[in-house]
Amino acid sequence: METAGKFVVIYSSEQERFVTPHGLYLGEKVPAVETPERTKSLVQRLVESGQVEVVEPRAYPIEPILAVHDADYVNFIRTVNSTPIDDPEIPEGKPAPVAYPFTFPYARPGLSKHRSRSIIAQMGRYVFDLSTPINSDTYPAAYKSVEVALTGADMLANSHHAQRDLAGGFCFFNNAAIAAQYLLDHPTAPAQKVAILDLDFHHGNGTQDIFYETDSVLFVSLHHTPHGAYPYFSGFEDEIGVGKGEGFNINYPLEAGTDEDTYTAVLNTACDEIAKYGADYLVVSLGFDTFCEDLISNFKLTEPYYETMAAIVSARLPGLPALIVGEGGYKVDKLGVLALNFLKGWKS
């Protein structure tokens, strides 16, 4: 998004309120990789470049979130840390300052259709992994990030892992999906079609889930094959959508060690699919965890390649208004450089 020759970056320091205390991996505590420093480092580098205009997000009501996410799920994220734990093993009944799921629901023939009202049961119902803890700052920070995405969508019209009713992969509200749905529902200039191009290392399982049964959104994802990377249970080529959505979900799983030539060939094909679709708007879920030095991935994309990546997308989809939404990327000291290279390629 550009104004007066500069890219517009929509950002609020409120997004930095949520700090993940630690991660849990294979039974061990591990340092958190989803930290406020990621965003601060990236935005600071962009500002120093003089190539961007930073804009505060506008305030929005909750309705755009509820157009994508289940209302009970949203209320859970908002209230879990103030709800007393009703379990005899915790006689004090105090709320959990940091909520991690303890047990997960499963489907078996003969099980009751009733849903436990226990807050511990809700932790397992509404969070699908152990990398996405919730504390009292989660809801306001996640809500502010939604307002960032909606502000960008409004400027056009005038997370990725989060599903309709599940948090996971460091994601609580799916900003790309909320922005896409808002463009379709826009009060003054509603779109007929929106394309989402997901360029994160990990499959955007939440975005796929939300739009799997519609032809109003084309979801195209380049990601590491789920045979060897999170979220493991989605992202295969045969996931093409159902009902009206059949044919409007396209996955390109890539192997470990994917190099720039391979990525370029697949990206060109992905852009051709989007061009064929004829979208009114493009939402790019941009992850920098495809970078060769990233802490939790294994692709071979170098710093200069992000300029090439952006140039391919903008050249193959000329004139298509685009909103770029941030996703993963955990090499903190390189995020600003990668973002600048991407913007340089887009502008070229």
Q: What is the pLDDT of residues 273-300, one digit of tens each?
A: 999 999 999 999 999 999 999 998 999 9
Tell me which residue of 263, 267, 208 sits closest to 236, measured CA to CA.
208
Q: Which amino acid is at 164?
A: R
Q: Comparing 45-49, 83-87, 251-255, which segment has the lowest mean pLDDT?
A: 83-87
Identify the band that residue 186 occupies on the pLDDT scale cut at 50, 70 and 90: very high
The predicted model gives 34-60 an average pLDDT of 85
Active site residues: 161
- Average model confidence (pLDDT) for the chain? 89
Q: What is the pLDDT of residue 95?
A: 85
* Reported pTM: 0.88
Q: What is the pLDDT of residues 304-323, one digit of tens each?
A: 999 999 999 999 999 999 99
pLDDT at 200 over 70: yes
Q: What is the pLDDT of residues 130-175, one digit of tens each?
A: 888 898 999 999 999 999 999 999 887 555 556 767 766 657 789 9
Contacts of 58 (CB under 8 A, 6+ apart): 147, 150, 151, 154
Q: Is the dihedral of CA 238, 222, 68, 22 positive or negative?
A: positive
If phi > 0 it is left, if psi is from -120 to 50 it is alpha, else beta; for residue 243 that is: left
- Domains of the chain by range and CATH? 7-56+144-345 (3.40.800.20)
Q: What is the pLDDT of residues 76-123, one digit of tens each?
A: 999 999 988 877 767 677 788 888 888 888 777 777 667 788 888 899
pLDDT at 9 over 60: yes
